[in-house]
Structure 1
Amino acid sequence: MNILLVHCRYRIAGGEDEVAAGDRRLLEKMGHTVHTLYRSNEELDGMGAIGRLRSTLGYVYSASAGKEYVKLIRERSIDAVWVHNTLWMIGGAIYEAAAECGVPVIQTVHNYRMLCPCGTMYRNGKICRECLYKGLHKAIMHRCYRGSGILSLVLTLAMMRQRRSGIYRDMRFVCLTDLQKKMLLEADIGIRDDRVYIKHNHCETPMRWIPYDERKNCFVYAGRLAENKGIRELLEAWRRLEKEVYINRPENCPQLVICGDGELADYVAGYIRKNELNYVNYVGKIQRDRLAGILSEARALIYPTKWLEGQPMAIVEAYSVGTPVIASDLGNAGAMVDEGRTGKHIAPDDMIGSLVDIIQSADVCSCYDETAMRKKAELYSTDSAVKAIEAILEGLPAKRQGVNRS
């Protein structure tokens, strides 16, 4: 099958970029021919004000981009278009181009952008469902996307155009979790239950599992350094551990290794310096194989997120090397942890205190059940992903006579 994989990379690489790349490798290993439509939001940095404005408005719809996509699909005899992310440089024209060519579309649902213009359903430090229950105009009122009324308006218009066009009726959707599927269907935006699939993120980094009693006295955070990831709370928890809990026995204080990049990178480095934290090591953005090595030696991954999440690759990677996860008891991250067997839950309403209690408790090691951990690793394995992809592709309709929906 000739598949066009569509993805717009973010300025700061994250889990979605990794999943898109992993899906491409799997599809090719399965014998499919994968063509790519890749763009990057870094392209915006080299544009002038007019160029950025044109690209931003083009996210809603661009006739010129639509013609290019139609040409690409027809010239390469594409059988299916598999979309990951279209924000900002690809836009909604790809869906209408595929419809015009009679080619089925698969959309991987990484976040909540089909329900919330911001994509996170998170505002002012808490989960927000106003767009879901009160209307998309709430995003414009609150300037949800990066505090910009204009950008929030553009994203809202794009969502409204796609919903009103009826393209969702013919698309297949790949959700990462049951929670995502439930929310999509409850939104009543024209998506059919029998066209929504579950395909978990997967990890391709097989490593030898280090016995838990041979691991270092360290914990790992891996992910974007952003406010909604709970990084501020994590740092404050470690300050309390180092400066209060273990003040008289510093040799027992566990190490925290922070891996990642993002808008709070300077804050993280500055906080460590200001508070003279000797047991926090900020290593920045690192390669996946190095991260796997660090995770394999750790007592647990800590994931103190404050939003619903998609399906964090950091958690998938931790399970792949047999490392338990300490995650917020919230949304998809919380659902990935079996309390007391594959990790522990952080109380979302007292994140700092909960983290301190978990880390210093004597039973933190008791959350390790190897049988349960092996089942988690299998759930997020390459073999499981291949089976899910096979089911998705088998359920696709054949190419049909193109329909011009412009």
Structure 2
Amino acid sequence: MRILSVHNRYQIRGGEDESRQAEENMLREMGHQVTVYEEHNDRVAQMSQLQVASRTIWSSEAYQIVQNQLKQQPQDIVHVQNFFPLISPSIYYAAKSEGVPVVQTLRNYRLLCPNGLFFRDGQVCEDCMGKFVPLPGVIHGCYRDNHLASATVATMLTVHRTLGTWTKMVDVFITLTEFARQKFIAGGLPADKIFVKSNFIHPDPQPGEGKGNYAVFVGRLSEEKGLDTLLAAWQQLPVKLPLKIIGDGPLTAKLTADTQNMPEIELLGRKPMSEVYDLIGEAKFLIFPSNWYETFGRVAVEAFAKGTPVIAADIGAIAELVEHNRTGLKFMPSNSADLAAKVTWLLEHPQELNQMRQEVRIEYETKYTIKQNYHKLLEIYDLVRKV
């Protein structure tokens, strides 16, 4: 098949960027032709606020680029990974003008929530859920703590709800978990158009040995990731277990200050994926303390592939990925005492921890390899090509 993959890249590369790159590589590896159209958020700094706002709602430039590409090099499918903010939903219309079906992967909650997270003031917020005009997001300045920018996102959502863009211009939506699928159905997207296809890990990084006497956190250093809960839990541990934190983000400076008197915590910053895999594979377990509705939790599956159990907050999609007492443990979201208790329990039960190392590897081999993912994606593509 010939697939046009569309993606708006983030300034700080994260799980969404990694997952869409893996998907494109998989398709090429399986013999398909993948053409990429992408924008990068670094361009935002080169534009005026009015230009960014205009492009967010309807990008004539992106429309022309996609339409011209489809005329010059016909495609079987346009697969949109992320259109926000510089590409915009105009590309759906460009695809339809050339008679090409559209698949949209929903890697965040942007179609339902201006900040895409269902998260505000340190906790889950669904104030905009089900509202045709998401005014609460504007009032609270939910997108980038900016009322004007939030108004732009709200306008984009309202305009395209009015036009029926999500229901008429997109043939199939892909969510990464059933939890996310149910959220989008509750938010008004048609249930018969939403299919679940998880992320995957390829090539197989092979399991580690778990011989490092430490726990590990990997992810963006931002409020919704539950780092305050993580640090508080580490202060409550009866035994000081080393903790390695991998990643960067807006909380880097604060974390550096907060951990000055906590020598057992090491901030490693960003690392190449090969190093990240090595560190995960030798960890006793990975901590996933998010306090928002993760749409997936790629790092948890990376841990499974490395044979490393996961202690995760019992919230959102990550709660769907981790099976309590088999592939890890779950703790009450934002509850540092419960997290500390779960860490302590695993440290005191080495036999159960070793059994979990075997189970997580089985979980990876059963659900998250390239083979299962490829067949599922082809099933979805076949559906839209028959529409």
Query: TM-score, normalising length from structure 1?
Result: 0.89
Q: What is the DSSP-based 3-state SS (H/G/I as helix, E as strand, rest coil) of the residue aligned with 1:120?
A: coil
2:337 counterpart of 1:353: yes
Q: Which runs of 5+ in 2 are unaligned?
A: none
* Aligned-partner Cα distance in 2 for 1:105–1:300: 39
- CA deviations 1:89-118 (Å, max 9, x no partner) are 211211111111111111011111111111
Q: What is the DSSP-based 3-state SS (H/G/I as helix, E as strand, rest coil) of the residue aligned with 1:131?
A: coil
Counterpart pick for 1:312 among 267, 274, 297: 297
2:221 counterpart of 1:225: yes
1:113-128 matches, within 5 Å, as: 113-128=110-125
2:244 counterpart of 1:257: yes
1:155-170 matches, within 5 Å, as: 155-169=153-167, 170=170
The structure-2 alpha-carbon separation of the partners of 1:113 and 1:125, relative to structure 1 and needing over 3 Å to count, comes to same
2:77 counterpart of 1:77: no
- How far has the Cα of 1:397 moved from its partner? 2.6
Identical positions, percent: 29
- Structure 1 window deviating more from structure 2 (368-377 vs 11-20): it is 368-377
1:199-348 matches, within 5 Å, as: 199-211=197-209, 215-241=211-237, 245-246=238-239, 253-273=240-260, 275=261, 277-348=262-333
The structure-2 alpha-carbon separation of the partners of 1:218 and 1:26, relative to structure 1 and needing over 3 Å to count, comes to same
* Aligned-partner Cα distance in 2 for 1:303–1:239: 17
- How far has the Cα of 1:364 moved from its partner? 6.6
The structure-2 alpha-carbon separation of the partners of 1:364 and 1:233, relative to structure 1 and needing over 3 Å to count, comes to farther
1:74-153 matches, within 5 Å, as: 74-135=71-132, 136-153=134-151
The structure-2 alpha-carbon separation of the partners of 1:44 and 1:167, relative to structure 1 and needing over 3 Å to count, comes to closer
Residue in 1 that maps onto 2:7: 7
The structure-2 alpha-carbon separation of the partners of 1:82 and 1:299, relative to structure 1 and needing over 3 Å to count, comes to same
Residue in 1 that maps onto 2:352: 366
* Aligned-partner Cα distance in 2 for 1:150–1:306: 26
Q: What is the DSSP-based 3-state SS (H/G/I as helix, E as strand, rest coil) of the residue aligned with 2:215?
A: strand
* Aligned-partner Cα distance in 2 for 1:285–1:85: 23
* Bigger radius of gyration among the two: 1
* Aligned-partner Cα distance in 1 for 2:83–2:334: 34
Residue in 1 that maps onto 2:383: 395
The CA RMSD measured in Å over matched residues stands at 1.8
Letter in 2 for 1:262: G
- CA deviations 1:304-332 (Å, max 9, x no partner) are 00101011111010001111000001111
- Structure 1 window deviating more from structure 2 (56-65 vs 9-18): it is 56-65
Q: What is the DSSP-based 3-state SS (H/G/I as helix, E as strand, rest coil) of the residue aligned with 1:375?
A: helix
- CA deviations 1:116-144 (Å, max 9, x no partner) are 11100111111111111445122112221
Letter in 1 for 2:216: V
Contact 1:8–1:85 (Cα < 8 Å) also in 2 = yes
Q: What is the DSSP-based 3-state SS (H/G/I as helix, E as strand, rest coil) of the residue aligned with 1:96?
A: helix
Contact 1:205–1:289 (Cα < 8 Å) also in 2 = no
- How far has the Cα of 1:65 moved from its partner? 3.1
* Aligned-partner Cα distance in 2 for 1:181–1:117: 18
* Aligned-partner Cα distance in 2 for 1:167–1:398: 20
Residue in 1 that maps onto 2:174: 174
Residue in 2 that maps onto 1:41: 41
Contact 1:358–1:364 (Cα < 8 Å) also in 2 = no
Letter in 2 for 1:25: N
* Aligned-partner Cα distance in 1 for 2:69–2:264: 53
Contact 1:306–1:328 (Cα < 8 Å) also in 2 = yes
Residue in 2 that maps onto 1:404: none
Q: What is the DSSP-based 3-state SS (H/G/I as helix, E as strand, rest coil) of the residue aligned with 1:35?
A: strand
- How far has the Cα of 1:161 moved from its partner? 2.2
- CA deviations 1:230-270 (Å, max 9, x no partner) are 112212322333xxx34xxxxxx321010011000111122
* Aligned-partner Cα distance in 1 for 2:215–2:225: 16
* Aligned-partner Cα distance in 2 for 1:365–1:355: 20
* Aligned-partner Cα distance in 2 for 1:297–1:70: 48
The structure-2 alpha-carbon separation of the partners of 1:254 and 1:205, relative to structure 1 and needing over 3 Å to count, comes to farther
* Aligned-partner Cα distance in 2 for 1:141–1:220: 37
Letter in 1 for 2:201: C
Residue in 1 that maps onto 2:196: 198
Contact 2:226–2:334 (Cα < 8 Å) also in 1 = no
- How far has the Cα of 1:211 moved from its partner? 4.5
The structure-2 alpha-carbon separation of the partners of 1:278 and 1:19, relative to structure 1 and needing over 3 Å to count, comes to same
Contact 1:176–1:200 (Cα < 8 Å) also in 2 = yes
* Alignment size in residue pairs: 380
* Aligned-partner Cα distance in 1 for 2:326–2:242: 23
* Aligned-partner Cα distance in 1 for 2:187–2:343: 39
Q: Which runs of 5+ in 1 are unaligned?
A: 247-252, 400-406
